[in-house]
Amino acid sequence: VHYQHQFHAGNFADVFKHVVLLAVIDALNRKPGPWCYVETHAGTGEYDLHGDAARRTGEAASGVGRLWAQPAATPLLQRYLELLHQHNPDGVLRHYPGSPRWVAACARDDDRLVLCERVPQIAAELKQNFRGDRRVAVHQRDGYEAAGLLPPREKRGLMLIDPPFERPDEFRAVGELLRQATARFAHGVYAVWYPLKNRHAAERLPRAAAALGREGVDLQFDTGAPAQGQMHACGMLLLNPPFGLVEALTPSLEVLREVLTQGPRASWVARPF
Ligand SMILES: C[S@@+](CC[C@H](N)C(=O)[O-])C[C@H]1O[C@@H](n2cnc3c(N)ncnc32)[C@H](O)[C@@H]1O
Over residues 153-204, the pLDDT tens digits come to 999 999 999 999 998 899 999 999 999 999 999 999 999 999 998 778 788 8
Establish whether residue 119 lines the binding site of ligand 1, counting it when its CB lies within 6 angstroms of any ligand atom.
Answer: yes
- Which residue, by CA, sits nearest to atom 8 of ligand 1? 99
Q: pLDDT at residue 122 above 90? A: yes
Which residues belong to the active site? 162
Establish whether residue 162 lines the binding site of ligand 1, counting it when its CB lies within 6 angstroms of any ligand atom.
Answer: yes
CB of 97 within 8 A of CB of 5? Answer: no
How far apart CA 8 and CA 13 sit, in angstroms, is 9
pLDDT of residue 151: 98
What does pLDDT average to over the chain? 95
- Of 44, 118, 145, which is best to mutate to test ligand 1, by the most ligand atoms within 8 angstroms of its C-beta? 118
- Which residue, by CA, sits nearest to atom 19 of ligand 1? 142
Q: What is the pTM of this model?
A: 0.97
CA 57 vs CA 8, 88, 155: distances in Å: 7, 21, 41
CA 69 vs CA 72, 163, 216, 247: distances in Å: 9, 29, 34, 26
Q: pLDDT at residue 126 above 80? A: yes
How would residue 226 be classed by pLDDT, with cut points 50, 70 and 90?
A: confident
- Which residue, by CA, sits nearest to atom 25 of ligand 1? 119
Q: What is the position in ligand 1's atom list of the atom closest to the CA of 43? A: 27
Q: pLDDT at residue 208 above 80? A: yes
Q: What one-character-per-residue DSSP string does 245-267 give?
A: HHHHHHHHHHHHHHHS-SSTT-E
How far apart CA 76 and CA 106 sit, in angstroms, is 12
Helices (H), the chain: 12-28, 52-57, 64-68, 75-87, 99-106, 120-129, 170-184, 199-210, 245-259
Q: What is the pLDDT of residues 132-161, one digit of tens each?
A: 999 999 999 999 999 999 999 999 999 999
Q: What is the pLDDT of residues 54-110, one digit of tens each?
A: 999 999 999 999 999 889 999 999 999 999 999 999 999 999 999 999 999 999 999
How would residue 1 be classed by pLDDT, with cut points 50, 70 and 90?
A: low
Q: Per-residue pLDDT averaged across 213-233, rounded? A: 91
User: How distant is the alpha carbon of residue 13 from its chain centre?
Assistant: 9
Q: What is the pLDDT of residues 9-51, one digit of tens each?
A: 999 999 999 999 999 999 999 999 999 999 999 999 999 999 9
Q: pLDDT at residue 229 above 80? A: no
How far apart CA 1 and CA 261 sit, in angstroms, is 32
CA of 43 to the centre of ligand 1 (A): 5
Sign of torsion over alpha carbons 163, 167, 171, 174: negative
CB of 18 within 8 A of CB of 99? Answer: yes
Establish whether residue 7 lines the binding site of ligand 1, counting it when its CB lies within 6 angstroms of any ligand atom.
Answer: no
pLDDT of residue 30: 97
Establish whether residue 63 lines the binding site of ligand 1, counting it when its CB lies within 6 angstroms of any ligand atom.
Answer: no
pLDDT of residue 230: 82
